[in-house]
Structure formats: structure tokens, C-alpha cells
Structure 1
Amino acid sequence: MNKITNNGFILIVDDNPTNLSVLCEALNSEGFRFRVAVDGESAIAQAERNQPELILLDVQMPGIDGFETCYRLKANPVTQNIPIIFTTALADTESKTKGFSLGAVDYIPKPFAQEEVIARVRVHLQLKQLTESLEQQVSDRTKALQQAQVKLVQQEKLSTLGELVAGIGHEINNPINFISSNISPLQEHIAAVTELLLLYEQEYPNPTAKITTTIDDLNINFVLEDMGKILNSLKLGSERIRNLSNSLRNFCRSDRDTKISANLHQGLDSTLMILQHRFKANGDRPRIEVIKNYGVLPDINCYIGQMNQVFMNILANAVDAVDEAITQGKMNNLIPQIKIATEIDSEEFVVIRIADNGIGIPERLKKRLFEPLFTTKVVGKGTGLGLSIAYQIVVEKHEGLLEVNSQLGLGTEFIIKIPT
């Protein structure tokens, strides 16, 4: 039989001095620690204050009897898991059945045989320890499986997103390079044609009636001016597409296995570029104002692709929080805002603060925000993995801190700290 640890104590509940003496002598001879209660009320009070490993409970006592005492102990969440062995002279089947139905684990008949008392106590102490050990193993395995699931989801999301972005970036780059590289020659050609038309106008000031009519219909001066504006628009548009392409590539860089020196401001800006469609005004709300207050940061040795994922999850949650506040009519005419601030603190940590003035988080839920599969969003909208993945990336992968400050109805601030 496995060794039983005697860190706890056994509570003996009996009003008979002779019974108490026999039980105390039996337990003491084997080195068990014990305490004594002479009635049900004091037994319940003792068990609530300091939970014993096992209770030996007499059935027939003054005041509340053993059955009622057992019922109350099992109804109390603090004491419900303590094993109870009835000690009684009642050997009829009905009494035993009643005791087991109330949650007792065994009976020790009176008069006591010391060997039987010790044997039953040992068996049930060992069963309790084995049960607790099994429950702890199940809890540990469940936690490990949840963490493994989060990591697998994170890796799959990054891998899938990386492949998608790489494909989009490649497809965007080819046509945008073609457009961009042809804008300058087109400008030169249009300038040359414009110069030729002006020269023709100077050399032949009196064209035929047909040419004059065509020029008037075409409004040549407007066309020449408008072509320049169109070219400028094409140039601006191609630059914006190129910036978006660069942002996509910066957001999902395939450096998951090694840290590289990276500019976190560039990561934040890339993420904001990708999310810009969510900041725009729609039929339900005005545009979300993004206020950046960047400090001076050095390049940081980090997994930049994963850090960008953290920024994405937190910023997307901020937009959701603002949308929810507006839907519930709790913005109080405030301008929807997301504020991003960065700095180096006194402990040489990079600090990134992302705050919104959205719906806020109730105090009772804040401590569960980073649990895998926990979400405050409605069914179908949130997976409960975004913030748990962010927590793993910041805390486990970068040895940093991820904290949250929030007040219901006033907004939420996430604070990311990673070592320089």
C-alpha cells in the first residue's frame, strides 16, 4: 500500500467519552493527528474553519444527529469533499442505506475493533489522496492541452495568414510595378504631345473650320490640364497600394522560429494600415479616430510577425468595444477613439499602450480575459483565443507582461511590456 502523508488531521465527532477514548487511542497509536468535537454543530464549525482529511462521525448524538450533520457538511461547498465515515451501533440496512445516500463513504460498527478502525481510515485516506492526485493530473493535462491548442491555432493562423499575405503581396506587386514604372514615361509622352500642340497652335494660328470645331468640342485646354491631374492621381494611388503591400509583408513576416531586430512602430503602422477599413465611418457610427503618441524606441529583438498578431488582436478588440458601446447607446456623444502610446520605462522595458473609449470590461471578467476559449463576445463573433494567444506571445515567448485596465462604460487599456 502506498504511503499516506499525514499533513492533515482527522476529526472525530462523538459525545460518548468511552468511544472517544477508543478512537483517539487507535489513531494515536498509528501516528495520526486528530481533533475532537462532541456534537454536530461544533463539528460543522470546526470543519468550515479548518478542513480535516477525514471525519469519523457518530450517528446518535444530542442536538442534530449524524445524518443531519452529514447532510449539512455535504451541502456546504467548503466541506462537501471531505470523506465521512459513520461510527454507529445501527447495523440495519435502512440506516446504512440512508448514510450512503447522504454521501458517507463507509461505516465502522460499534463496539470498535482498533484494527478495523485503522484499516478503514487508512483505506479512505489513501483513496482521498489518490482522488486528489488524479484530479490534479486531469487539471494539469487539461491546462497543457489548452495551451497546446492555443499554440497550434496560433501557428496555423500565422502560417495560413503568411501564405495568404505572401500570395496577395506577389499578385499586387506585379501589376503595381507595371503601373508605377509606366507613369513617368507616360508623363513624358503627354508633356511632349502637349508641347507639340502648343507649338502647332503658334505656327498655325488659323486652322481649318473642322479642326477649330474639334478643338472646341474637345475643350483641349481642359483635357491637357485634366490629364496631369489624372496622372498625379495614378501616382498617388499606386504609392498607396505599394504601401499597403509593404504593410502586408511587414505584418506577416515568416520569422516565427527566430528573433530579429525590428521596428515596433513599423509593426503598429502596418497593422493600422490593414485595419483602416474598420476605422472608417459607416451607417451605424462615425469614423474612429486613431491618435498615435509614439516615443523614441530602439529596434527590438523580437518575433515581429507574432508581435504584429498581438497588435492586430488588441486593436480589433478595441474596434469591437467601440462598436458595442455605440450599439448600446453608451458613448454619450463622445468621439470614438483609439489611442496608441509607446515609451521606454524606467526598467528599460518597451511599453505599448492601446486604449479605447468603448464599452469597458466588468471587474469580474478581467481576470479571465487571457484564459483559452474565454470570450465576452456573443456566440459566433469571438473564439476566445485572440487574447490568450496574445498573452502567450508577450509573456511566454518574449518574457514580457500583458496587463489590462478597464472600467465598465469608460473604456479599456491594454499595456504590453517587453524587454529591450
Structure 2
Amino acid sequence: MKESELILVVDDTPANLEVLSEALTDAGFEVAIATDGERAIKQAQCSLPSLILLDVMMPGIDGFETCRRLKASTITQDIPIIFMTALSETNDKVRGFNLGAADYITKPFQEAELIVRVQTQLKLRNFHQILEQQITERTAELTDALRQLQSSQLKLIQSEKMATLGQLVAGVAHEINNPVSFIHGNLEHMEGYTQTLLNFLQLYQKHYPEPVDEIQEQAEEHDLEFLQEDVVKTLASMKIGTQRIREIVRSLRNFSRMDEAEFKAVDIHEGLDSTIMILQHRLKAKPEYPQIRVIREYGNLPLIKCYAGQLNQAFMNILANAIDALEEMNDHRSYKEIQHNPGCIVIRTSVVDSQSIEIRITDNGPGIPEEIQQRIFDPFFTTKPVGKGTGMGMSITYQIITEKHNGKLECFSKPGEGATFAIQIPIYQQVHEVTALSKQCL
């Protein structure tokens, strides 16, 4: 409970106001009073009390109408209201709860009961305010992080200026990781706070196992048992969501490998997996056609010395082109035809011999005509419409594989039978030879 929280007491009987004011003051609250509904509404809008104790039977507008107006106002709608009444009919109580009342106290009331009910409603209100604020803040940060991530993914696909792509991805991943880590860490605190409140509620239920009818009805109406379980599950789901974002960020970092710009031994499969993760949103099912499947048939590869970020960029270009081909083919097929033969990309890795490994990326798209295959690695050659590609993607990929890694890149395809890009990379290379070649390409 906050210190000196303001309680507005609304009653047309001076004796009741005096007794209530004294009891609440002794309990550490500040007290404001109103003798009718109209004054109560004006005073509540002016001073914004933490809670309102509202008599039902009053001259002028009664407590029910006063409650309705308070809840209809954006200024006072969130203030909890406890009705004070001698009415014992269930219909009257239901009417009050339907109007937005938080609780009922039946006259004549016990002072101890009054204080406990007031304190309980204030604690619930404070908890809800904190929880809503935390969830709003975390949701906004998660939404912003996801928006940044989606933006970076779009840039990865649209941009073929591979020389700057690695730095862009690494920077975005770093910026996203900070707020996501902050959110993820604070969710653990929120779990603790929530559990503390739930323990308090269980303690209350332990010492008051047989609550009055009003509390029992309120608990059943709002399914208190379900809420206690669901708030924990909701927080757990939020943690899973932030963990998922952290995994995506890790994939972005693995993809760019800007922290490993030197020539060093890496796991090729890790680079392939990171690239697939970044392209995942293009692989998912869409209203027009089902998802594009990616089948991994990985062999047992040794660590390969390479420029990991550049090699990942080559994988990105080949996989993005395969997706483009499958999407273009799907545009000319019915949903039923696509379901019968869905788009698929198969990635196979193997050791060719003691000197090199091979990565084969195969799609079941429309295939590539022979005349296009002969020019597919030429700079500025593209079959895409204006604005859809510069023709530099596959040329840069060829340069990364052949010139910077002393490897081989070949395309095998027949119209209507899909396409295969075969990459061969030496397992061992002379660093000074590769470095010299790389400098010549800059």
C-alpha cells in the first residue's frame, strides 16, 4: 500500500462519515468526504482518490447512478469503488458489480473488515497498474525490436551491396540485443513480483477459507483460480518470445561474423543455418501458397578456414534467388497444384576428398534456360524487372567463392527441372595467397 493514499467517502449520514473517517485515518489513509453523488463525482475528478467508499441510498442520484457516471468518465473509470449498503438482495449486488464496483460492504460493517477490504483493493489496483505499465513498456520495446529486425531482414534481401552488408547486420543485431536483453532480464523480476502477490493471495485465502458471499461471487465471476494460473503462463510466454528474438539476433551475428573478419576456421553448417533463419519469413506459408520447405542433408564436415561473413553472404544470394524462382513459379500455379508439388530447397554438404568440401543448394523451381546459365555470373546481368535487382548478386557470389576462397561455383539446371548450385571450398588454404587475391579484388 502506498503511503497516505486518499480515500473518498460518500455518505449522506454525518455519523457514518465521522466513523468511517476516523477508522480510515487511524489506518494511515487520507480521507475526503462527500455527502451526495454529484459532489462525489466533482471531487473525484478534481482530487483523483485511490479508492471510493460509496453509499448506495442517497438523496439525488443514488450510489448506482454515481458509480455509472464515475466509470463512464475516462478520468475516474479506473478508481476502485466499494459499495456500502444495507441492501442484501442479490440483484442489487449484481447490479453494482455490473456497473463496475470492486466490492461490497454490508451495513452495519465491522471496522477491521472495512480496513482489510480497502487494503486488498488498493493492493490489487497497485499491482495491476505496475503490471500493466511493465507489460506496456515491454511490449513497446519488443515491438520496436521486432520492427528493427524485420527492417534489417528486408534490407538483407533487397540489398546486393555485399561489401557493406556484414557491417549493417552486425550493427543492427547489437542494437537490438541490448533492449531485448533488458526486457528478458526484467521479465524474471516480474515473475518474482507476480509470485509474491500470488503467495499473498494464497495466504489471504488460507486465513479466510470461507469468505463472505460477495467475495466468493466475485472470485467465481472472474475465475480467480484461472487468473492465478494464467498470469504465470503469460509471463512465461513473454520470456519465450524474448528468447526467440535473442536467438534471431544470434543468427544475425553469426551470419555477419564481423567479429571474425579474419581468415579462420568455422562451422559451415552454422553459417547455413543462420542464413536460413534470416530468410525464414520468406519461407513461411502465405495466403497464396504453402510454405517453402528447406531440407538439410548435412554431412560430417571439418571446420573450414574462410572469411565466414563473406561466405554467408554468398549462401544468402543463392538461397534468396532460389526463393525468388519458387515464388515466381507459384504465381502461375493454382493453390491445389502447389500443394501437390510444393516448393522445396535441399541443402547437401559433403567432403569431396581430402582437399575440399562441397555445398549443393537445389530447388525444384522452373529451372534456368541454358542461355541464361552462360551469363548468370556476369556483372549487371539480370532477368528480373527494373527495380527488382541490379545483377550484382551472383557476380559477387562468384567472386567470393572463386577469388577469395580459391573455390569453384557451378550451376546445373534444365528448364522445368529446378536448379542446383554447387560450391566447392578447399579445406586448407594458404592464408597469404588468399589475402593477396582478396586485396586484388578490392
Could you say whether these structures have the same fold, taking a TM-score greater than 0.5 normalized by the shorter chain as the test?
Answer: yes
Matching of residue 303 in structure 1 with residue 310 in structure 2: no
User: 2: CA distance between counterparts of 1:225 and 1:191?
Assistant: 10
Q: Which residue of 1 aligns with 2:93?
A: none
User: 2: CA distance between counterparts of 1:246 and 1:257?
Assistant: 16
Deviation at 1:326, TM superposition (A): 1.5
TM-score, with length taken from structure 1: 0.60
Q: Which residue of 2 aligns with 1:187?
A: 191
Q: Which amino acid aligns with 1:393?
A: I
Deviation at 1:351, TM superposition (A): 0.8
User: 2: CA distance between counterparts of 1:365 and 1:174?
Assistant: 45
Matching of residue 217 in structure 1 with residue 221 in structure 2: yes
Matching of residue 283 in structure 1 with residue 290 in structure 2: no
Q: Which residue of 2 aligns with 1:17?
A: none
Q: Deviations over 1:240-283 (max 9, x none)?
A: 10011111111112268631221111111111111111001223
Q: SS in structure 2 opposite 1:397?
A: coil
Worse-superposed segment, 410-419 or 275-284: 275-284
Alignment partner for residue 417 of structure 2, among 403, 406, 410? Answer: 410
User: 1: CA distance between counterparts of 2:344 and 2:425?
Assistant: 25
Alignment partner for residue 392 of structure 2, among 367, 373, 385? Answer: 385
Q: SS in structure 2 opposite 1:370?
A: coil
Report if aligned partners of 1:256, 1:306 keep a CA contact under 8 Å in 2: no
Q: SS in structure 2 opposite 1:353?
A: strand
Matching of residue 394 in structure 1 with residue 398 in structure 2: no
User: 2: CA distance between counterparts of 1:298 and 1:310?
Assistant: 20
Q: Which amino acid aligns with 1:245?
A: V
Matching of residue 254 in structure 1 with residue 254 in structure 2: no
Deviation at 1:369, TM superposition (A): 1.0
**Total equivalences in the alignment:** 266
User: 1: CA distance between counterparts of 2:271 and 2:303?
Assistant: 11
Q: SS in structure 2 opposite 1:413?
A: strand
Alignment partner for residue 349 of structure 1, among 346, 356, 361? Answer: 356
Report if aligned partners of 2:167, 2:258 keep a CA contact under 8 Å in 1: no
User: 1: CA distance between counterparts of 2:369 and 2:398?
Assistant: 19
User: 2: CA distance between counterparts of 1:386 and 1:288?
Assistant: 22
Deviation at 1:175, TM superposition (A): 1.6
Q: Which residue of 2 aligns with 1:94?
A: none
Q: Deviations over 1:66-103 (max 9, x none)?
A: xxxxxxxxxxxxxxxxxxxxxxxxxxxxxxxxxxxxxx
Structure whose alpha-carbon radius of gyration is higher: 1
Worse-superposed segment, 155-164 or 409-418: 155-164
Q: Which amino acid aligns with 2:197?
A: V
Q: Which residue of 1 aligns with 2:4?
A: none
> Structure 1 281/257 Cα, relative in aligned 2: closer, same or farther at 3 Å?
closer
Report if aligned partners of 1:264, 1:299 keep a CA contact under 8 Å in 2: yes
Deviation at 1:156, TM superposition (A): 8.8
Deviation at 1:363, TM superposition (A): 1.6
Q: Which residue of 2 aligns with 1:240?
A: 244
Q: Which residue of 2 aligns with 1:152?
A: none
Q: Which amino acid aligns with 1:402?
A: L
Q: Deviations over 1:22-42 (max 9, x none)?
A: xxxxxxxxxxxxxxxxxxxxx
Deviation at 1:166, TM superposition (A): 3.2
Instruction: Give the RMSD, CA atoms, in angstroms.
Output: 2.2
Report if aligned partners of 1:260, 1:301 keep a CA contact under 8 Å in 2: yes
Q: Which residue of 2 aligns with 1:98?
A: none
Report if aligned partners of 2:261, 2:308 keep a CA contact under 8 Å in 1: no
User: 2: CA distance between counterparts of 1:309 and 1:227?
Assistant: 43
Alignment partner for residue 363 of structure 1, among 359, 362, 370? Answer: 370
Deviation at 1:159, TM superposition (A): 4.8
User: 2: CA distance between counterparts of 1:177 and 1:329?
Assistant: 44
Q: Which residue of 1 aligns with 2:89?
A: none
Alignment partner for residue 383 of structure 2, among 355, 368, 376? Answer: 376
TM-score, with length taken from structure 2: 0.57
Deviation at 1:190, TM superposition (A): 2.4
Matching of residue 205 in structure 1 with residue 209 in structure 2: yes
